[in-house]
Structure 1
Amino acid sequence: MVAARLVHPSQTRRALGLGAGLGMLALVLLLLGITIGSTGLDSLAAMRQDPVAWQIVWDIRLPRTAGAWVTGALLGLAGAVAQGLFRNPLADPYLLGSGSGASLGAALALLMMGRPQAMAMSGSWWLQLGITGAAFVGAVLAVMLTLTLARGAQHTLRLLLGGVIVGVVLGAAKDLVTVAAPGILESMQGFTLGSTSFLGWQAVALMAAVLLICLVAAFLLAPVLDGLTLGESTAASLGLMLPGLRAALVAVLALATATAVAHAGLIAFVGLAAPHLVRPLVRARHGALLLLSAAMGGALLMLADLLARWLLAPQELPVGVLTALIGGGYLLWLMHRRGLVGGTR
C-alpha cells in the first residue's frame, strides 16, 4: 500500500464542502437550463396545457443540460487522470490522440454516408448513431495505435511522444479527407467546435453509465497516481505493479474521452481546466481530486452551454468556443498570477 501523505481533517471538510457546493451549482444550472431556449420561458409556462411545450422542455432542454454535465464530468475526470498519469499539469484528455482519431472517424463516416450536407449534427437518429459510433471507434483505435507505438504503457515518455505523433498524423489524415470531400467541411466544423445541441436521453444514459464505470475504476486506481507523484522508481519500490496499473489508467482515460468526444465533439479546455480549478481550493489525494474534477468539469460545461444558448439568443454559439475562452482565460490568469506570463518568476 502506498504510504500517501496524510490529509489534514480541515482539508477533508473542505473537499466535502466543495463537492456539496458543486452539486448544488449543478442543480441550479440544471433548473436554469430548462428555461433557456429559442422560445424562452413560454415553453416552461405552457407545459401543462401544450404537449409541444412539454416536449421542448423534457425532450430537448433537459437532456441537453444533463448531457452537458455528464460530458463535462467525463472530460474533467479524464483530465485529472491524464495529469496524474503523466505528472504534467498541462496534460489534457486528448493527449493520446483520441481527439484526432474521433475527428477522422467522424469525417470518414460523413464521407461514406454520401450526403454530407444532410448529415450535419442535426441528422436523423440513425445517422447520428453512425457518426457517434465512428467517432468512438476512431478515438479508441487512436489510443491503441499510441500504445502500439509506445510498446505498451510501461513508459510515460513513450506514451506522451506516441500520442503527439498519432494526433498529428491522424489530424492530417482528417484534413486530407475534408480536402477530398469539401462538402463535409461544414459538418466537420460543427464536430470540431463541439456541440451539446443534439444530446438525447439515450446518449445521456449511455454516457452516465460510462461515467460511473470510469469513476469507480479511477477511484480504485487513485493510489497509483498518489504513488506516481513520488516518482516511478519510488512507486515501484512501494510494491505497485506499474505496467498493468498504468495500462488500466490509460483505459479509463481512453474510455472517458472517447465517449465524451463521440457524443459532443471536440470540447476544448474542460479536461485541462477542471483539475486546475479544484487544486487551489482543496489539497487532497487523487481519490478526492478525481471525483471533484469530474464535478467541476460538469459544472463548467453546463455553464458554457447555458452561455452559448443565452448570449446571442435565439442564435447559439459553439460551446467549444466558450469553453476555450473560459478555460483558457482562467489558465492565462493563473499563469500570470504565478509569474509565468508578463514577468519573471
Structure 2
Amino acid sequence: MTFIDIDAPAHSGAARDRRRWRVTAILLVLAFVAALAAVATGPLAMSLRGVIAWAAGLDGSALSEIEQHLIGHVRLPRVIVAILAGAGLAISGCLMQSLFRNPLADPGLIGVSSGSALAAALAIVLMPALPVWLGGFAAFVLPVAAFVGGLVATLLILRIAHFSGGTATVVLLLAGIGISVIAEVAIGFLIFISNEQQLRDITFWRMGSLAGNGWLQSGIIAVPVIAIFAFAWSIAPALNALSLGEDVARHLGVPVQRLQRLIVIAVAAAVGTVVAFCGLIGFLGLVAPHLARLVIGHDHRWLLPVSALISVVIITFGDLVTRIAVAPAELPIGLVTGALGGPIFLYLLVRQMRGAA
C-alpha cells in the first residue's frame, strides 16, 4: 500500500521533519531527566550526582548500601513501570482515536477500563471469602481479576459487533458505551454493599497507583506494551489512510474490518495489563495524542512515538510528585497526571487556536 503523508500540504517536507526531530529530541531529554529525578527523589532523598555516578559505574561508593537497594528494588522498577504504563496508554489512545476518527476517543470506549474496574471491585469485596489455598497468591488476585475483567468486556463487545453484522466503528462505540454503563451500575452496587475499608480500597484503586510494582510486574507489563507499539508502528500507513475515512482506506487496500478487530484486541491487551497493575489512570490515553498532534502533526509515523514520550514525561514527573507532595503518604497518580497535563493541554490548544485565527 502506498504511504500517505496526511501532513504533506501543510509544510515543506524538510522543515517539517527538522521540527519533528527537534521536538522528539526535547521529549527524550525531558523523559530522561524525569526518570533520573524520580529515581533520586523521595522520602529518602539522594544526590542526583551520586545516582548518575553510581548508575554509570564511575563511583560504586557514591551511594550507601541502603540507597543502592532502594534504587534497585523499589524506585527503578517503579520508574520503568511508569514509563511502560505511560507509553501503553498513549499508544492505545492513538489507536482508538484513529479507529473512531474522533479526537475525544480513548481506550475506555471499548469497555476494557470499565470491565477491569468491575472485576477489581468484585475481587476487593470478595477477598475475605477467598479459599485458604489462595492466601499465598493474594497479591496477584486483584491484578489477575482486573485483567480478566477487561478482556471479557472487550470480547463481549466484539461478539455484540459480530452479531450486528460486522465491526463497524459505530457498533463498537455503542457496544462499548453500553458495557461501560452496565459495569458502572455493578460497581455502584458493590460500593453500596462494601464495608469502609473495601470502599477505600476500591476508591483508591480507581484513582491509580504505581506503588508496589517491582521487576516482575514491569516484565509482565513490558510484553503487551512493546507488542502494541510494534503493531501500531507496522500499521502506521494504514492508520493514516483510515484517518481519511473507511471508504478511502478500503480503496487504498486497507482491510478495514480486520484492522478494527486487531486494534481492539491490541488495545485491550495493553490497557488491561496496565490497569491490572496500576489501577485506572485516566487522561493520558486521551490527552497525550492530542498534545502530540498539536506539536507534531497527524502522521502516525511520528504521532505514535511522540505521544508515548509525552505520556512518559507526564506520568514520570507525576509519580515523582505523588511521592513527595504529602510524604510519607502518596497521592493517587491519576490525580497528579490530570493536574499536570490538563493546563499544558489547554495552553497549547489556546495557542494553536490563536495561531489559526
TM-aligned CA deviation for residue 54 of structure 1: 2.4
Name the aligned partner's letter for residue 154 of structure 1. Answer: T
Change (3 A) 1:242 1:51: same
State the match for 1:105 in structure 2.
119
Residue deviations 1:267-311, cap 9 Å, x none? 111111111111122125212211221122111110111122222
State the match for 1:134 in structure 2.
145
State the match for 2:4 in structure 1.
4
| Equivalent of residue 239 in structure 1, options 248, 253, 261 | 253
| Equivalent of residue 218 in structure 1, options 208, 232, 237 | 232
Change (3 A) 1:245 1:169: same
State the match for 2:31 in structure 1.
26
State the match for 1:96 in structure 2.
110
Q: Distance in 2 between matches of 1:39 and 1:225?
A: 45
Name the aligned partner's letter for residue 11 of structure 1. Answer: R
Structure 1, unpaired ranges of 5+: 117-123
Q: Distance in 1 between matches of 2:92 and 2:308?
A: 8
| Equivalent of residue 168 in structure 1, options 178, 181, 191 | 181
| Equivalent of residue 262 in structure 1, options 276, 289, 305 | 276
Name the aligned partner's letter for residue 31 of structure 1. Answer: L
Change (3 A) 1:81 1:61: same
TM-aligned CA deviation for residue 42 of structure 1: 8.0
Residue deviations 1:130-188, cap 9 Å, x none? 11111011111111122222237621111111111111111111221222223411111
Q: Distance in 1 between matches of 2:246 and 2:101?
A: 10
Change (3 A) 1:38 1:20: same
Q: Distance in 2 between matches of 1:206 and 1:70?
A: 10
Residue deviations 1:97-120, cap 9 Å, x none? 11111111111222332179xxxx
Change (3 A) 1:3 1:41: closer
Aligned length: 334
TM-aligned CA deviation for residue 17 of structure 1: 2.9
State the match for 2:328 in structure 1.
314
Change (3 A) 1:229 1:144: same
TM-aligned CA deviation for residue 231 of structure 1: 1.1
Q: Distance in 2 between matches of 1:129 and 1:205?
A: 15
Q: Distance in 1 between matches of 2:19 and 2:305?
A: 14
Change (3 A) 1:254 1:9: farther
Q: 1:3-82 maps to which residues of 2 (within 5 A)?
A: 3-5=3-5, 7=8, 8-41=13-46, 48=61, 50-82=64-96
Change (3 A) 1:242 1:207: same
**Is the contact between residue 118 and residue 149 of structure 2 (CA under 8 Å) also seen in structure 1?**
yes
Structure 2, unpaired ranges of 5+: 55-59
Residue deviations 1:6-58, cap 9 Å, x none? 74133223333333322222221111112212122289789957543322221
Change (3 A) 1:284 1:88: closer
Name the aligned partner's letter for residue 226 of structure 2. Answer: L
Alignment partner of 1:151 is 2:165 = no
Identity level (%): 33
Alignment partner of 1:252 is 2:266 = yes
Secondary structure in 1 aligned to 2:162? coil
The TM-score with structure 1 as length reference comes to 0.88
Secondary structure in 2 aligned to 1:314? coil
Q: Distance in 1 between matches of 2:329 and 2:315?
A: 18
State the match for 2:57 in structure 1.
none
TM-aligned CA deviation for residue 331 of structure 1: 3.8
Aligned Cα root-mean-square deviation (Å): 2.6
